[in-house]
Amino acid sequence: MTTSLPAIAKSRIVFLDWLRIAAFVSVLVWHKFAAPLQWLGTSPDVHASLRELVLLILPFFQMGAAGVVVFFLVSGYIITHVLLRETGLTFLVRRFFRIYPLYVIAVLIQTTGDVWVHGEHVNFLNLLLSVSLCGDLFQMPYTLGGVEWTLRVEVLFYVFMVVLKFCGLIDGRHARWLPLVLAITAFGLLVMPPTPGGAWTWCIAYYNLFGPFLLLGAFFYLHENGRLGSGSLAAITALVLLGIWIVTPIWQPNLAGQHFVAYGFGIFFLFWLVRQRLSLPAPAALLSELTYAVYLFHNWMYDYLLGASRELFRKEWAADLAALCLLLFVCWIATRFVERPAVRLGARLSRRFQPAVPARVEA
């Protein structure tokens, strides 16, 4: 029996669903609709009020960086929430089936398309390293139009948090030291040498610049959980934001003139403040369910779909709209027939690692 969208919505943390939507919209718009958006913000043929409105929101889409900030803040928050409820092994099994099956399918489809359309040669060793999400260890280029780099950071964060879980820092006997360990880790990311670095990567120091947001998301959850005071949360937030503003011009000068940190954190903080008042209509729930698939497919498949749409529609806006609808339909299929079954399989397998609950003896 399948679960209806309303039932799914009730079981989720609603403000995170809205943030997931905001994150992928930021990335999708910049990757595929940046040119018309910039034209609206600068063209003298556009009404001045519309130009000002577009210029106001444009920094949220700039390079998709604010969306990535939101994505990592959400991930840090939810992973801490989950690890307080699951064993380390259960978490790893569930996360594996949540992340890898759809990712592997996306990479295989992209590789097949590159061979078929562009006649590219497949190096199976490189392909295997790519689907492992450990490409930074081997200086591998990024797949899926470049978006894979965020998943590399995400997987490393999973491993880091599970190590803390096994060490008793999440909810064990050393739990009181967790905020200090996370704070030291955030500071360490900001002062360590740029990682990854070197000529092989186009995104130098992305662990340093974006990794702290995963830890900041964890701090927000710890504050909600009563394990961190408001003053400490404000202090660690200031550390992360100021630290990133200081190191960004050093490692990523092209990002120094942008406001992605302020916009990304501001969106997260606003939704976090009103989290108790938000509801999730069925269309938004569906869109939230599609966010992972859209993130994986949009930056390479959209171009194929747009090329096909241009054969049917003369007007550019009509071709773009058709390609976007086709992309969402493909992502719905991927979610329905790959992601959801994989998540259910992971949930079934993970039950083997759940500790047995002793039966209650009635007096």
Residue closest to 67 by CA, chosen among 14, 122, 30? 30
pLDDT of residue 101: 97
Q: How confident is the model at residue 362 (pLDDT cuts 50, 70, 90)?
A: very low
pLDDT for residue 16: 96
Average pLDDT rounded to a whole number, residues 122-144: 89
pLDDT tens digit sequence for 3-18: 344 434 445 799 999 9
Residue environment code for 91-122, b if the CB has 16+ CB neighbours within 10 A, otherwise e:
bbbbbbbbbbbbbbbbbebbbeeeeeeeeeee
Instruction: Using the predicted structure, report yes or no on whether residue 340 has a pLDDT greater than 60.
Output: yes
Confidence grade of residue 355 (pLDDT, cut at 50, 70, 90): low
Q: What CA–CA distance (Å, rounded) separates 90 from 349?
A: 8
